Structure 1
């Protein structure tokens, strides 16, 4: 199209850039490609990564070819959630049938229109990590819970989902109150409080393990994946005060939340430790 009007040309020159919206199909394609890489170790689909692409495991930069999660692992269960607003996704891979079991949680960040993969952040936990890490127990609990689509009439806004998840993390520091459903459960590396595990009316979320004798835990550097259709929030963060043998270090941590009608239903924690169970 040819514009001959100088005023129109001038207006276009100073018009703000209009970016294409995130394309869910590209997010899905990239997530499926990542799932294949974790399961097979075949990196033939990953030859076109941009120079500024970053791959991290437990917050350490490593070449993707050297990543533990990219060597080909027998995945026994997996799930994926999509953030079509921020153009991100979260995957969880449970590797139970292997000589060295793992739980692998990933946050992927893409360009605004999902054409370019910018970052893969991976948190890998295994035996000895927080809390009473047990891949069989973890998988059993995950598969028994409902993390499916929330009925449209029961969905809440993106901001409400983030506020509820943030309130839970904040309560570890300042005992902030947060809305919890009943039942509400916290699964941490395979651990569910046995006192409440079989009580359908229990609010286990407010009975999560908090050691009152230790300095309050602080959770910083929060990065979010929010899937409104599933009432899902994943927060990668740095957990200060978790590792009891050195309270000055921050540990890589992932919290996943299932929120229904604005109330917390399930919390899943995958946190890396220096000492067994972080010294708890």
Structure 2
């Protein structure tokens, strides 16, 4: 429509509409702001989850009345969740996405009675935990050996990255996606770091003792071919240069998480948790060696 022929009444309606739209936008701003959280709030929620899992007492978490729980990417009742069974936690590492208001925590339990490695996503709304989603892996799952996972993961350095050296959210996700896309497209160029270490269950690609770093340590040691990694969900912590991608792995759609540390746009660490439907996802079980001694 020609604005010069709009007419006085039309112009007044347009001005009124713009004013109304501005009011609506201003009214919506607080609601939009509520979608992000402080790092402190996410850290507190994570600590409450760890304490609750250690005690087997979900009441230690400020759960929303309609909180949703999942295990192995399937809904589960609070009464049936592992969260009700006390566990001696040997180590945990968390990343926090203040933009998405979510945390992810890797939990390692080496209790000989029943060792576990858990990967748990925690979603906040306000100061209440709205969602808890846990991948539970134990003796039947991919390359499982919790004692090795503990030794290697605990020795890694996931320090806070100075703001001026932090990669963008997009760069961190792109590095993760390149690695994940390689499983279904061998032509993908992955931003491998040097050194880079990859932890899958109890297997580590770095050759030295835990914490001993060599320029020869590499993550480029091959991946399965023709393996789609789909339904990806991302949780990014720029302060730690980290992203966890929750996804379905392969043609069997196995519940899986891939946790990455990215430094200067290059992969530094990759951790995998994969829930198998059969023993070791149907691959032959071979003894997993203990970490070399320093």
* Between 220-229 and 150-159, the greater mean CA deviation after superposition: 150-159
Of residues 141, 145, 150, the one that matches 1:129 is: 141
- Maintained 8 Å contact 2:183/2:224: no
Among residues 274, 277, 281, which one is paired with 1:278 in the alignment?
Answer: 281
Is the counterpart of residue 37 in structure 1 residue 52 in structure 2? yes
- Matching residue of 1:27: 42
- Pairing 1:224–2:230 present: no
Q: State whether residues 128 and 277 of structure 1, in contact with CA within 8 Å, keep that contact through their aligned partners in structure 2.
A: yes
Counterpart in the other structure of 1:184: 196
Distance, in Å, in 2 between the alignment partners of 1:59 and 1:179 is: 29
* Alpha-carbon offset, residue 81 of structure 1: 1.2
Query: Residue 143 of structure 1 aligns with which residue?
Result: 154
Preserved contact between residue 181 and residue 203 of structure 1 (Cα < 8 Å):
no
Q: 1:141 to 1:48 in 2, by over 3 A?
A: closer
Q: TM-score if structure 1 supplies the norm length?
A: 0.85
CA drift at 1:154: 2.5
Unaligned runs of 5+ in 1: 1-6, 242-248
The answer to whether structure 1 residue 77 and structure 2 residue 87 are counterparts is no
CA distance in 1, matches of 2:166, 2:260: 14
Provide structure 2 residue ranges, at least 5 long, that are not aligned to the other structure. Answer: 1-15, 284-294
Q: Judge conservation of contact 1:154–1:261 (CA < 8 Å) in 2.
A: yes
Question: Are 1:101 and 1:126, in contact at CA under 8 Å, matched by a contact in 2?
Answer: yes
Larger Rg: 2
Change in Cα spacing, 1:134 to 1:86, as seen in structure 2 (3 Å) is same
Residue deviations 1:10-44 (CA, integer Å, cap 9, x gap): 45653351132523132222212111111101233
Alignment partners' CA distance in 2, 1:59 and 1:77: 23
1:263 Cα deviation from its structure 2 partner: 0.3
Deviations 1:205-243 (A, max 9, x none): 1104x345xxx11111111111001111111110014xx
Q: Are 2:258 and 2:272, in contact at CA under 8 Å, matched by a contact in 1?
A: yes
Which structure 1 residue ranges, 4+ long, deviate > 4 Å from structure 2? 7-13
Q: SS in structure 2 opposite 1:217?
A: coil
Q: Do the aligned partners of residues 20 and 182 (structure 1) sit closer, same or farther apart at CA in structure 2, a change above 3 Å counting?
A: same
Distance 1:48 1:155 in 2: 33
Q: Identify which range, 32-41 or 145-154, moves more after superposition.
A: 145-154
Return the alpha-carbon distance in structure 2 between the equivalents of residues 152 and 46 of structure 1.
Answer: 31
- Per the normalisation by structure 2, the TM-score is 0.81
Partner of 1:255: 258
Task: Count matched residues.
Answer: 258
* TM superposition shift of 1:143: 1.2
- Equivalent residue of 2:161, what SS? coil
1:171 aligns with 182
RMSD: 2.2
